[in-house]
Amino acid sequence: MRLHQVLRNVDKFRTVFDFGGRDVAHWFPGHMAKGLRQMRANLKKVDCIIEIHDARISFLKDTLNVRPHLLILNKVDLTDLSNKQRILKTLEKNGVKNVLFTDCLKQRDDNIKKVKDYCLMVIGVPNVGKSSLINSLRRTNLKKGRASRVGGEPGITKAVLTRIQVCERPRMYLLDTPGVLPPRIENVETGMKLALCGTILDHLVGEDIIADYLLYSLNRLGKFSYVEKYDLQEPSDDIQHVLKRIAVKLGKTQRVKAITGVGNITITIPNYTAAAYDFIRAFRKGELGQVMLD
């Protein structure tokens, strides 16, 4: 049955997400305060500040309360840019006029060539591609390999690093910095978007709530590719049903003991945590389509 034939129940899906009174203050790891102090101490040494965001969350407030000279919206390969002009106009109203859209993991990105200055500091929340930007600049301008470690989890860069050369003419250096969150995230929904994009460690929020918010967001945006990917009959607003189908499709099960009237028995049940993990990772890798959360 074709997807458009089974959308009859979508208008009954949730229009508001229940965050269950969660407090985002617990999502700010204590070590980030040290990173903020290090970065502020180095501000006088730099000629230009580059702030980098995940393009799927474009309207995040400044990390250091310092307006960047250049805002880079990275991971455009994972982003729905159909509202690109609206994003640019909103940013301009907030005083941010110099904006570049990039995919720093590409071997060649023409927008990277536009980033040239003297001593630059790259700032931003965790896992948005700061180290990837540095490596991309070195690859583009110096034809050299990576100088900063990268990874799919937040927290790879632990401290403000020494200057890394990224260009010869003009001679340009760049400071890589640890990803830090603003000490005060403006609201729980912004925090959940950050968690969904891998900026906050999953266990601090909970894979179950992140997966549910992902399902809610995909349905709200009309992005139903998860139906085909996980062999569902139709879109669903029930995260337990979706995770059960994912677990069955991927063979993610676990054996648990159950107490019955005739004694203890071992039964096999779906592994909902493993299914949630796969669902979230599929989104982060772009396997559920290009999405704009803002």
Binding annotation for GTP: 74-77, 127-132, 179
What is the rounded CA–CA span in Å between residue 30 and residue 45? 26
The token pair at 97 is 């006029």
Beta bridge pairs of residue 165: 173
* Angle separating helix axes 207-220 and 188-196, nearest 10 degrees: 100
For residue 132, the surrounding DSSP H or E stretch is helix 130-141
* CB contact set of 56 (below 8 Å; sequence gap of 6+): 75, 78, 79, 193, 197, 291, 292, 293, 294
Alpha-carbon distances, residue 196 vs 126, 202, 266, 284 (angstroms): 12, 8, 34, 8
Query: DSSP per residue over 211-274, as a string?
Result: HHHHHHHHHHTT--HHHHHTT-SS--S-HHHHHHHHHHHHT-EEEEEEEETTEEEEEEEE-HHH
What is the rounded CA–CA span in Å between residue 254 and residue 77? 35
Q: Are 142 and 168 in contact (CB under 8 A)?
A: yes
Q: Which residues are annotated as a binding site?
A: 74-77, 127-132, 179
